[in-house]
Each structure stands twice: as structure tokens, then as C-alpha cells.
């Protein structure tokens, strides 16, 4: 956007900015149609204290003030910026509902912190990985969805203790695991020419969530074959479907038995 467009936007927005600020100063609100009037006129980021104002009342954020400390980007004149305390008090008082309210979040967030909150909101949804399914919701409801819609069984396990995942013949599939603290994991298996490849992931809404390690192994007493792998699990919300980052291979030669057991150990980090 050029200077002229910025200037036109600001000239029409100063009074609107005051109106929005006045509304926010007295109310806790769910939405503001004119919330963009409380954005920095240069970088378009939400205004937050400290807010600076030139002699012509053009308002900018701290970062842009540091870039243009003595000259207004809009007036193109030398100016002295002052703190706009009126607007600072207003933006501090404006509260918005989290976008994850329908998933259980009751937080009321200062408007300029809304995006930051939602990046880590524990109520953000995870998704059903089945092609064509539009379901999304918190992990607890996702587990119910798997059971109700697809009859996927979930297996509870204890951290740091090995448990066996069964592969029936050479037929791969997926299974859901539930940790003792309620965390949900998915094991996805697919058939490849060399055997069955396995991925294990932690289902969480944010990649900044709790981290886990996984250990997989396979052995055959008849041939003396043994293989083990340990890795940090990927955190995934399943938005892009089933996980495809396969970390383990069960060779085709070991799939001749009716059931092959793969020991799995999951450990919190």
C-alpha cells in the first residue's frame, strides 16, 4: 500500500479509531467489525502499548516508531511523537472471545493478544484424518468420533512400559493409543514392497505441546533377526490426514506368521 493510500485510510479512520476505542473502553465484546482501525497504520499489526502519535494524530506502534523516530511516514514532515495514552487505555480494555469458544475455551483476551493466545490455546481442534470427513474438535471428542463413526478401538497403556502392537498377517492398519494422562497417539501402518512401514505420532493441537519418545522393536527367534528404533514423536493435529513420516520397517519375511507382535514403549520427555 502506498503513502497516498495509507494517508487516505488514516484520514478516514482517525474518528473511527476513537469510536472503536470508546466502545472497547466500556464493554467486553465478542467481535468488532472495525477492529482493523486499531492496527498500526504502517505495519498493520494490532496496536499495543506504547502507542505513538504525531502532531497530526497519526498513530503507530513501537517498532515502527523506532524506524521513523523523527519523521511521520504519512505527513512526510519532521515531527515529535508523543505517547497516545487515551488509545493505550482503550486497547487494554478491549476483550475478545477466543475463536475456540465452540470447542470449550472461555478465555476473554485483550484484543492485541488474541492471535498469541490462539497459537497455544489448549482447546484448539484436532481433525479427523479420514478422507472426506469434516470433523474437528478437542482431542477428547476426537477419540469419541473415532469410536462412534469408524469403530476404531483405543488401547490404554502405561508410560515407560513396553506393550505389544499386533499386526495380523500382512494386513496393515491404524490403531489409537491413550496414555495414562489422557494424551492420544496414533500408530499408522502401510504395506510397502519391502514390508510394513510404521509411523507413531502424538495427536495434539499445537506443535509446542508435550513431547514424547517412542521405541519400536521386532525380533525373530528362528532367524535371530532383531531390529530396534528410538525417536522423538512428531506432534500432529491430523489436518493433513494420516501421518506419513514412517520411522520403522517390519520386513516382509517376518509377516508370514498369523500375528506379528511389535513391542512399543512411549516415554514422556
| Residues paired with residue 177 on neighbouring β-strands, in sequence order | 155, 185
User: What CATH number does the domain located at 3-120 have?
Assistant: 3.30.40.10
**CA atoms within a 13 Å half-sphere pointing along the CA-CB vector of 14:** 11
User: What CATH number does the domain located at 126-268 have?
Assistant: 2.60.210.10
**CA atoms within a 13 Å half-sphere pointing along the CA-CB vector of 253:** 7
* Rounded Cα gap, residues 232 and 230, in angstroms: 7
Sheet holding 212-220, edge to edge: 163-168, 259-268, 212-220, 225-232
Q: In Å, how far from its chain's centre is CA 100?
A: 12
Per the prediction, the chain carries an average pLDDT of: 83
Chain segment 152-204, per-residue pLDDT in tens: 889 999 999 999 998 877 677 889 999 999 999 999 999 999 999 999 999 99
Residues of the chain with CATH 3.30.40.10: 3-120
Residues of the chain with CATH 2.60.210.10: 126-268
Inter-residue contact 160 to 237 (CB < 8 Å): no
3-state secondary structure of 94: coil
A 10 A CB-CB count for 52 gives: 24
Chain segment 107-116, per-residue pLDDT in tens: 998 888 888 8
Amino acid at each position: 500500500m502506498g503513502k497516498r493510500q495509507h494517508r487516505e485510510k488514516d484520514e478516514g479512520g482517525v474518528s473511527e479509531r476513537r469510536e472503536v476505542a470508546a466502545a472497547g473502553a466500556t464493554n467486553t465484546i465478542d467481535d468488532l467489525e472495525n477492529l482493523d482501525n486499531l492496527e498500526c497504520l504502517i505495519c498493520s499489526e494490532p496496536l499495543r502499548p506504547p502507542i505513538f502519535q504525531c502532531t497530526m494524530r497519526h498513530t503507530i506502534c513501537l517498532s515502527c516508531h523506532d524506524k521513523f523516530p523523527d519523521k511521520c511516514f504519512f505527513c512526510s514532515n519532521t515531527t515529535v511523537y508523543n505517547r497516545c495514552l487515551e488509545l493505550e487505555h482503550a486497547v487494554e480494555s478491549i476483550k475478545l472471545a477466543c475463536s475456540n469458544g465452540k470447542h470449550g475455551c472461555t478465555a476473554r483476551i485483550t484484543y492485541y493478544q488474541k492471535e498469541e493466545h490462539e497459537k497455544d490455546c489448549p482447546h484448539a481442534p484436532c481433525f479427523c484424518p479420514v478422507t472426506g470427513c469434516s470433523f474437528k474438535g478437542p482431542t477428547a471428542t476426537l477419540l469419541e468420533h473415532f469410536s462412534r463413526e469408524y469403530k476404531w478401538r483405543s488401547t490404554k497403556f502405561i508410560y515407560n512400559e513396553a506393550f505389544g502392537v499386533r499386526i495380523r498377517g500382512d494386513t496393515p492398519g491404524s490403531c489409537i493409543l491413550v496414555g495414562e494422562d489422557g494424551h492420544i497417539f496414533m500408530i499408522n501402518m502401510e504395506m510397502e514392497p519391502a514390508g510394513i512401514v510404521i509411523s507413531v505420532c502424538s495427536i495434539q493441537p499445537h506443535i509446542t505441546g508435550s513431547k514424547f519418545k517412542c521405541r519400536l522393536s521386532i525380533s525373530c527367534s528362528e532367524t535371530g533377526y532383531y531390529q530396534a528404533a528410538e525417536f522423538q514423536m512428531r506432534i500432529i493435529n491430523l489436518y493433513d490426514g494420516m501421518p506419513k513420516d514412517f520411522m520403522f520397517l517390519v520386513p516382509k519375511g517376518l509377516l508370514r506368521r498369523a500375528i506379528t507382535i511389535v513391542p512399543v514403549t512411549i516415554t514422556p520427555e
